[in-house]
Structures are given as C-alpha cells and as structure tokens.
C-alpha cells in the first residue's frame, strides 16, 4: 500500500525483484526462457492482483481513483498482449484448450464484444463487471496451458531429475 494515495490504494507500478534461488537449488531449463517465463508469469500475477484489489474495493463501496483504475487496466491488458501472439501462432489452435479463450478475448460471444474491447470501454472507477473476472481467469488459464506458470523446476542440489540422469548416462557412454 502507498501512503501517498490513501489507505485503500495499491502501488501497481512497483516491480518485485526476481526471486533469488537458494544455494541449495538449481533451475532446470534454459536461462533465457526462464527469464521470459518468469516475466510473463509475473505479468499474469500482477493482472490477477490488480483485478482482485479493484473488485474488493468495489464490493466494499470504496472510491477507486483514475490512476489506480488505469494502472489495473494496463496490467490486465499487458498480460493479455504477452499471451495473444503465442496463442495465435500455435498451428494447432483448434485443438488447444485456449482456442475458445482467444475468441472470447478478440471476437466476443453472444453477450457482446471481445474482452479486450470491453476492457477499453469499461470505467473501472465505477464497476467491476462479471466478465472481467472471466477475462482474468482466462489469463491465468492461458498462462498455465502455454507453460509459463509451470515451466522449469527448482531442485535440491544433489538430487538428479530423471531427465538429467538419462543425459548423464548417455554422456558417460
């Protein structure tokens, strides 16, 4: 919380530093992918946090200032923009669980325009519409399906994954 904006505001502009690993663990995966994956995952988490904060304030009848609403909108849109190109480039999108999600975001459904267009039109200072919950949940689901929220593993030093054990055995031959 920020003292400058009052007791019911949240600082959505701060970026938490990348978590450091203990000396007793190592990351299994490509370094560049790890950085990108963690950035996308952080963006999704920030969008979820922004939505939850706004919705909670609306539920309690609190006043949402314009800066906070625009920061929340930006967090939600930024997370979607990071996911959409990969969703579109997937050659087998018709067989993927997020094909319907992409359609809801960009084309809409029987209830109206796509979530992105609705996000541009809604006044987040005034309401937290039900479709926004669905949009943010879709962000999280898509991040999971694309592997950003489950990529790589932290392992204890001294423990060997099955993949690494096979690789070590092949190198020893």
What are 42's two structure tokens?
Answer: 């952080």
In-domain check, residue 107: yes
What are 9's two structure tokens?
Answer: 């505001």
In-domain check, residue 127: yes
Reference 149, options 108, 98, 94, 77; nearest CA is 98
Q: Which domain holds residue 109?
A: 33-150
pLDDT tens readout for residues 46-85: 999 999 999 999 999 999 999 999 999 999 999 999 999 8
First-to-last alpha carbon distance for the chain, in angstroms, is 57
Rounded CA separation 61/14 (Å): 25
Q: How many domains does the chain have?
A: 1
pLDDT tens readout for residues 6-54: 444 555 555 555 455 556 666 565 556 778 888 899 999 999 999 999 9
In-domain check, residue 1: no
- Determine the length of the chain: 173
pLDDT tens readout for residues 83-114: 998 888 875 666 667 778 888 998 876 667 89
In-domain check, residue 62: yes
CB contact at 8 A, 128 and 110:
no
Does residue 161 have a pLDDT over 90? no
């Amino acid at each position: 919380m920020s003292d400058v904006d009052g007791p019911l505001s949240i600082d959505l502009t701060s970026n938490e530093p990348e978590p450091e690993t203990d000396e007793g663990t190592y990351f299994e995966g490509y370094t560049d992918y790890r950085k990108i994956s963690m950035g996308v995952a952080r963006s999704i988490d920030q969008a979820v946090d922004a939505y939850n904060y706004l919705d909670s304030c609306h539920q309690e009848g609190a006043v949402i200032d314009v800066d906070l609403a625009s920061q929340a909108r930006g967090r939600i849109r930024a997370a979607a923009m990071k996911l959409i190109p990969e969703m579109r480039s997937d050659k087998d999108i018709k067989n993927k669980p997020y094909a319907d999600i992409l359609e809801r975001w960009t084309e809409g459904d029987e209830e109206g325009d796509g979530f992105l267009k609705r996000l541009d039109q809604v006044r987040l200072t005034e309401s937290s519409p039900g479709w926004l919950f669905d949009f943010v949940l879709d962000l999280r689901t898509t991040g999971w399906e694309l592997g950003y929220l489950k990529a790589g593993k932290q392992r204890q030093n001294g423990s060997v994954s099955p993949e690494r054990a096979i690789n070590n055995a092949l190198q020893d031959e």
